[in-house]
Structure 1
Amino acid sequence: MDIRRIDDTISVAPQLSVDDIAEAAKLGFRTLVANRPDGEEAGQPAMADIEAAARENGMEWVYLPVESGNILNNDVDRFDAMIREVEKPVLAFCRSGTRCTVLWALSSARSKPAQDIVSKARNAGYDIGGLAPRMAEQAQKKS
Protein backbone atom coordinates (compact mmCIF):
# COMPACT_ATOMS: atom_id res chain seq x y z
CA MET A 1 0.00 0.00 0.00
CA ASP A 2 1.49 3.29 -1.16
CA ILE A 3 -0.09 5.98 1.04
CA ARG A 4 1.03 9.53 0.30
CA ARG A 5 0.26 12.12 2.97
CA ILE A 6 -0.82 15.50 1.63
CA ASP A 7 -1.61 17.12 4.98
CA ASP A 8 -3.12 16.27 8.37
CA THR A 9 -6.59 15.84 6.90
CA ILE A 10 -5.99 13.82 3.73
CA SER A 11 -3.70 11.23 2.20
CA VAL A 12 -4.02 9.64 -1.22
CA ALA A 13 -3.12 6.25 -2.64
CA PRO A 14 -3.18 4.21 -5.80
CA GLN A 15 -5.79 1.44 -6.05
CA LEU A 16 -6.31 -0.29 -2.72
CA SER A 17 -7.08 -3.97 -2.27
CA VAL A 18 -9.66 -5.31 0.13
CA ASP A 19 -6.78 -6.52 2.32
CA ASP A 20 -5.36 -2.97 2.53
CA ILE A 21 -8.45 -1.60 4.28
CA ALA A 22 -7.80 -3.14 7.71
CA GLU A 23 -4.27 -1.70 7.65
CA ALA A 24 -5.59 1.74 6.65
CA ALA A 25 -7.99 1.63 9.61
CA LYS A 26 -5.14 0.63 11.94
CA LEU A 27 -3.18 3.63 10.66
CA GLY A 28 -6.00 5.84 11.93
CA PHE A 29 -7.87 6.77 8.77
CA ARG A 30 -11.51 7.47 9.58
CA THR A 31 -12.94 7.93 6.07
CA LEU A 32 -12.17 6.04 2.86
CA VAL A 33 -12.96 7.83 -0.41
CA ALA A 34 -13.03 6.07 -3.77
CA ASN A 35 -12.54 8.43 -6.71
CA ARG A 36 -12.25 5.59 -9.21
CA PRO A 37 -15.29 4.30 -11.11
CA ASP A 38 -16.15 0.67 -10.41
CA GLY A 39 -14.98 -1.54 -13.27
CA GLU A 40 -12.71 1.10 -14.79
CA GLU A 41 -10.07 -1.54 -15.46
CA ALA A 42 -10.08 -5.33 -15.69
CA GLY A 43 -8.98 -6.97 -12.45
CA GLN A 44 -9.82 -3.96 -10.29
CA PRO A 45 -11.39 -4.91 -6.95
CA ALA A 46 -15.15 -4.36 -6.78
CA MET A 47 -16.09 -1.19 -4.93
CA ALA A 48 -18.78 -3.12 -3.03
CA ASP A 49 -16.07 -5.36 -1.57
CA ILE A 50 -13.91 -2.38 -0.58
CA GLU A 51 -16.95 -0.63 0.91
CA ALA A 52 -17.78 -3.72 2.98
CA ALA A 53 -14.19 -3.90 4.26
CA ALA A 54 -14.23 -0.18 5.13
CA ARG A 55 -17.46 -0.52 7.10
CA GLU A 56 -16.24 -3.72 8.82
CA ASN A 57 -13.19 -1.77 9.98
CA GLY A 58 -15.21 1.17 11.32
CA MET A 59 -14.43 3.56 8.48
CA GLU A 60 -16.84 5.93 6.80
CA TRP A 61 -17.19 5.11 3.08
CA VAL A 62 -17.61 7.68 0.31
CA TYR A 63 -17.95 6.65 -3.32
CA LEU A 64 -17.24 9.67 -5.51
CA PRO A 65 -16.23 8.28 -8.92
CA VAL A 66 -14.56 10.64 -11.37
CA GLU A 67 -13.54 9.87 -14.94
CA SER A 68 -9.76 9.92 -15.39
CA GLY A 69 -8.56 13.02 -17.23
CA ASN A 70 -12.01 14.58 -17.17
CA ILE A 71 -12.53 16.22 -13.78
CA LEU A 72 -15.49 18.55 -14.07
CA ASN A 73 -16.31 21.53 -11.84
CA ASN A 74 -19.29 19.54 -10.53
CA ASP A 75 -16.84 16.83 -9.38
CA VAL A 76 -14.82 19.48 -7.54
CA ASP A 77 -18.00 20.82 -5.91
CA ARG A 78 -18.94 17.34 -4.68
CA PHE A 79 -15.41 16.66 -3.40
CA ASP A 80 -15.28 20.04 -1.64
CA ALA A 81 -18.58 19.43 0.17
CA MET A 82 -17.54 15.88 1.10
CA ILE A 83 -14.09 16.77 2.45
CA ARG A 84 -15.55 19.45 4.72
CA GLU A 85 -18.15 17.08 6.20
CA VAL A 86 -16.48 13.70 6.71
CA GLU A 87 -14.48 12.53 9.68
CA LYS A 88 -10.74 13.03 9.27
CA PRO A 89 -8.18 11.87 8.45
CA VAL A 90 -9.29 10.83 4.98
CA LEU A 91 -7.65 8.28 2.70
CA ALA A 92 -8.71 8.81 -0.93
CA PHE A 93 -7.75 6.43 -3.72
CA CYS A 94 -8.01 6.04 -7.47
CA ARG A 95 -5.81 4.25 -10.03
CA SER A 96 -2.63 6.20 -9.22
CA GLY A 97 -3.64 8.80 -6.62
CA THR A 98 -3.47 11.63 -9.16
CA ARG A 99 -7.24 12.09 -9.55
CA CYS A 100 -7.63 12.34 -5.79
CA THR A 101 -4.81 14.86 -5.59
CA VAL A 102 -6.30 16.98 -8.38
CA LEU A 103 -9.74 16.96 -6.71
CA TRP A 104 -8.14 17.95 -3.40
CA ALA A 105 -6.06 20.68 -5.07
CA LEU A 106 -8.95 22.24 -6.96
CA SER A 107 -11.26 22.20 -3.95
CA SER A 108 -8.48 23.51 -1.68
CA ALA A 109 -7.83 26.41 -4.07
CA ARG A 110 -11.11 27.86 -2.81
CA SER A 111 -9.56 28.54 0.59
CA LYS A 112 -5.77 28.14 0.38
CA PRO A 113 -2.96 29.76 -1.61
CA ALA A 114 -2.10 27.89 -4.82
CA GLN A 115 1.61 27.89 -3.96
CA ASP A 116 0.92 25.95 -0.73
CA ILE A 117 -1.28 23.46 -2.58
CA VAL A 118 1.31 22.83 -5.31
CA SER A 119 4.01 22.38 -2.67
CA LYS A 120 2.00 19.86 -0.63
CA ALA A 121 1.14 17.89 -3.76
CA ARG A 122 4.78 17.91 -4.87
CA ASN A 123 5.88 16.66 -1.44
CA ALA A 124 3.43 13.76 -1.89
CA GLY A 125 4.92 12.97 -5.32
CA TYR A 126 2.38 14.67 -7.60
CA ASP A 127 3.20 17.49 -10.03
CA ILE A 128 0.07 19.62 -10.36
CA GLY A 129 1.73 22.82 -11.58
CA GLY A 130 -0.30 22.62 -14.78
CA LEU A 131 -3.49 23.14 -12.75
CA ALA A 132 -2.67 26.80 -12.06
CA PRO A 133 -5.41 28.20 -14.36
CA ARG A 134 -8.06 25.89 -12.88
CA MET A 135 -6.91 26.64 -9.33
CA ALA A 136 -7.22 30.37 -10.07
CA GLU A 137 -10.74 29.73 -11.36
CA GLN A 138 -11.63 27.77 -8.22
CA ALA A 139 -10.18 30.51 -6.00
CA GLN A 140 -13.04 32.70 -7.19
CA LYS A 141 -15.49 30.24 -5.56
CA LYS A 142 -14.33 30.74 -1.96
CA SER A 143 -15.77 27.98 0.25
Structure 2
Amino acid sequence: MRELPGDVFVTGQLDLMTMTALVEQGVMSFINNRPDNEAVMQPSADSLAAAAKELGVDYRNIPMAGGIPQTTLDASHKAFATMPRPIVAFCASGMRSAALWCFAHVDSLGVDGVLAAVTEAGYSLAQIKPMLEEFEGRNKGNG
Protein backbone atom coordinates (compact mmCIF):
# COMPACT_ATOMS: atom_id res chain seq x y z
CA MET A 1 0.00 0.00 0.00
CA ARG A 2 1.36 3.39 -1.01
CA GLU A 3 0.45 6.73 0.54
CA LEU A 4 -0.49 9.86 -1.38
CA PRO A 5 -1.19 13.32 0.04
CA GLY A 6 -4.58 13.89 1.65
CA ASP A 7 -4.83 10.68 3.69
CA VAL A 8 -5.20 8.56 0.53
CA PHE A 9 -3.63 5.18 -0.08
CA VAL A 10 -3.44 3.24 -3.35
CA THR A 11 -2.88 -0.46 -3.73
CA GLY A 12 -3.56 -3.55 -5.79
CA GLN A 13 -6.66 -5.71 -5.64
CA LEU A 14 -8.34 -6.01 -2.25
CA ASP A 15 -10.34 -8.94 -0.98
CA LEU A 16 -12.96 -9.10 1.76
CA MET A 17 -10.49 -10.11 4.49
CA THR A 18 -8.12 -7.27 3.62
CA MET A 19 -10.96 -4.75 3.56
CA THR A 20 -12.04 -5.91 7.01
CA ALA A 21 -8.50 -5.56 8.36
CA LEU A 22 -8.16 -2.08 6.85
CA VAL A 23 -11.45 -0.94 8.39
CA GLU A 24 -10.23 -2.25 11.75
CA GLN A 25 -7.17 -0.01 11.22
CA GLY A 26 -9.38 3.04 10.61
CA VAL A 27 -10.00 3.14 6.84
CA MET A 28 -13.30 4.92 6.16
CA SER A 29 -13.68 4.65 2.37
CA PHE A 30 -12.77 2.47 -0.61
CA ILE A 31 -12.60 3.37 -4.30
CA ASN A 32 -12.52 0.40 -6.68
CA ASN A 33 -10.92 1.34 -10.01
CA ARG A 34 -10.70 -2.20 -11.36
CA PRO A 35 -13.28 -3.44 -13.86
CA ASP A 36 -14.91 -6.76 -13.04
CA ASN A 37 -13.54 -9.95 -14.60
CA GLU A 38 -9.99 -8.76 -15.28
CA ALA A 39 -8.59 -11.80 -13.48
CA VAL A 40 -9.71 -15.21 -12.35
CA MET A 41 -10.95 -15.24 -8.76
CA GLN A 42 -11.14 -11.43 -8.63
CA PRO A 43 -13.87 -10.34 -6.19
CA SER A 44 -16.76 -8.65 -7.98
CA ALA A 45 -17.50 -4.99 -7.47
CA ASP A 46 -20.92 -5.98 -6.10
CA SER A 47 -19.41 -8.32 -3.49
CA LEU A 48 -16.95 -5.61 -2.41
CA ALA A 49 -19.75 -3.04 -2.22
CA ALA A 50 -21.78 -5.41 -0.04
CA ALA A 51 -18.76 -5.98 2.22
CA ALA A 52 -18.19 -2.24 2.58
CA LYS A 53 -21.85 -1.72 3.45
CA GLU A 54 -21.67 -4.47 6.07
CA LEU A 55 -18.50 -2.89 7.48
CA GLY A 56 -20.20 0.51 7.62
CA VAL A 57 -17.80 2.34 5.31
CA ASP A 58 -18.16 4.22 2.02
CA TYR A 59 -17.47 2.47 -1.28
CA ARG A 60 -17.42 3.72 -4.86
CA ASN A 61 -16.97 1.61 -7.95
CA ILE A 62 -15.22 3.73 -10.60
CA PRO A 63 -13.70 1.20 -13.00
CA MET A 64 -11.02 2.34 -15.42
CA ALA A 65 -10.18 0.29 -18.50
CA GLY A 66 -8.26 1.61 -21.48
CA GLY A 67 -8.81 5.36 -21.85
CA ILE A 68 -10.07 7.74 -19.21
CA PRO A 69 -13.52 9.09 -20.10
CA GLN A 70 -14.70 12.38 -18.58
CA THR A 71 -17.33 10.52 -16.54
CA THR A 72 -14.57 8.54 -14.82
CA LEU A 73 -12.59 11.72 -14.12
CA ASP A 74 -15.69 13.46 -12.73
CA ALA A 75 -16.63 10.49 -10.53
CA SER A 76 -13.07 10.24 -9.22
CA HIS A 77 -12.86 13.94 -8.45
CA LYS A 78 -16.16 13.80 -6.56
CA ALA A 79 -15.12 10.66 -4.65
CA PHE A 80 -11.77 12.05 -3.53
CA ALA A 81 -13.42 15.37 -2.60
CA THR A 82 -16.31 13.98 -0.58
CA MET A 83 -15.52 10.56 0.85
CA PRO A 84 -14.45 10.24 4.49
CA ARG A 85 -10.74 9.72 5.05
CA PRO A 86 -8.61 7.71 5.10
CA ILE A 87 -9.43 6.46 1.61
CA VAL A 88 -7.98 3.35 -0.03
CA ALA A 89 -8.22 3.33 -3.82
CA PHE A 90 -7.35 0.11 -5.60
CA CYS A 91 -7.04 -1.63 -8.98
CA ALA A 92 -4.74 -4.43 -10.14
CA SER A 93 -1.48 -2.73 -9.08
CA GLY A 94 -2.52 0.71 -7.80
CA MET A 95 -1.30 2.44 -10.97
CA ARG A 96 -4.76 3.33 -12.35
CA SER A 97 -5.85 4.52 -8.91
CA ALA A 98 -2.76 6.73 -8.68
CA ALA A 99 -3.45 8.16 -12.15
CA LEU A 100 -7.05 8.99 -11.24
CA TRP A 101 -5.83 10.59 -8.00
CA CYS A 102 -3.56 12.79 -10.16
CA PHE A 103 -6.48 14.03 -12.26
CA ALA A 104 -8.59 14.63 -9.15
CA HIS A 105 -5.86 16.75 -7.53
CA VAL A 106 -4.16 18.52 -10.44
CA ASP A 107 -6.21 21.69 -9.87
CA SER A 108 -4.92 22.06 -6.32
CA LEU A 109 -1.40 20.62 -6.62
CA GLY A 110 -0.52 21.34 -10.26
CA VAL A 111 0.86 18.89 -12.79
CA ASP A 112 4.35 18.81 -11.31
CA GLY A 113 2.93 18.46 -7.79
CA VAL A 114 0.75 15.43 -8.51
CA LEU A 115 3.46 13.73 -10.56
CA ALA A 116 6.00 14.32 -7.78
CA ALA A 117 3.61 12.81 -5.23
CA VAL A 118 2.97 9.64 -7.22
CA THR A 119 6.67 9.32 -8.08
CA GLU A 120 7.52 9.55 -4.38
CA ALA A 121 4.95 6.80 -3.77
CA GLY A 122 6.74 4.60 -6.31
CA TYR A 123 4.65 5.03 -9.48
CA SER A 124 6.09 6.20 -12.78
CA LEU A 125 3.33 8.17 -14.52
CA ALA A 126 5.31 10.65 -16.61
CA GLN A 127 3.41 9.36 -19.66
CA ILE A 128 0.21 11.07 -18.47
CA LYS A 129 1.84 14.50 -18.09
CA PRO A 130 0.47 15.83 -21.43
CA MET A 131 -3.06 14.66 -20.50
CA LEU A 132 -2.76 16.27 -17.07
CA GLU A 133 -1.58 19.54 -18.62
CA GLU A 134 -4.49 19.53 -21.07
CA PHE A 135 -6.95 18.66 -18.31
CA GLU A 136 -5.59 21.38 -16.02
CA GLY A 137 -5.75 23.93 -18.84
CA ARG A 138 -9.36 23.04 -19.65
CA ASN A 139 -10.36 23.35 -16.01
CA LYS A 140 -8.63 26.73 -15.60
CA GLY A 141 -10.53 27.95 -18.65
CA ASN A 142 -13.79 26.96 -16.95
CA GLY A 143 -12.94 28.61 -13.63
Same fold per superposition (TM over 0.5): yes
**1:92-135 deviation digits (Å, cap 9, x = unpaired):** 11111111111111221122122221111012111111211111
User: Which residue of structure 2 lines up, in the alignment, with residue 93 of structure 1?
Assistant: 90
Q: TM-score, normalised by structure 2?
A: 0.89
Give, in whole Å, the separation in 2 of the partners of 1:31 and 1:121: 20
For structure 1, which runs of at least 5 residues remain unmatched after alignment?
none
Alignment partner of 1:22: what SS? helix
In the comparison of the two structures, how many residue pairs are matched? 140
Q: Moved runs in structure 1, 4+ residues, more than 3 A?
A: none
Q: TM-score, normalised by structure 1?
A: 0.89
Matched, 1:120 2:117: yes
Structure 1 contact 107–138 (Cα < 8 Å) conserved: no
Displacement, 1:61? 1.1
Instruction: Give the residue type in structure 2 aligned to 1:83.
Output: F
Query: Identity rate of aligned residues, in percent?
Result: 26
Give, in whole Å, the separation in 2 of the partners of 1:121 and 1:37: 22
Give, in whole Å, the separation in 2 of the partners of 1:96 and 1:106: 18
Structure 1 contact 4–11 (Cα < 8 Å) conserved: yes
For structure 2, which runs of at least 5 residues remain unmatched after alignment?
none
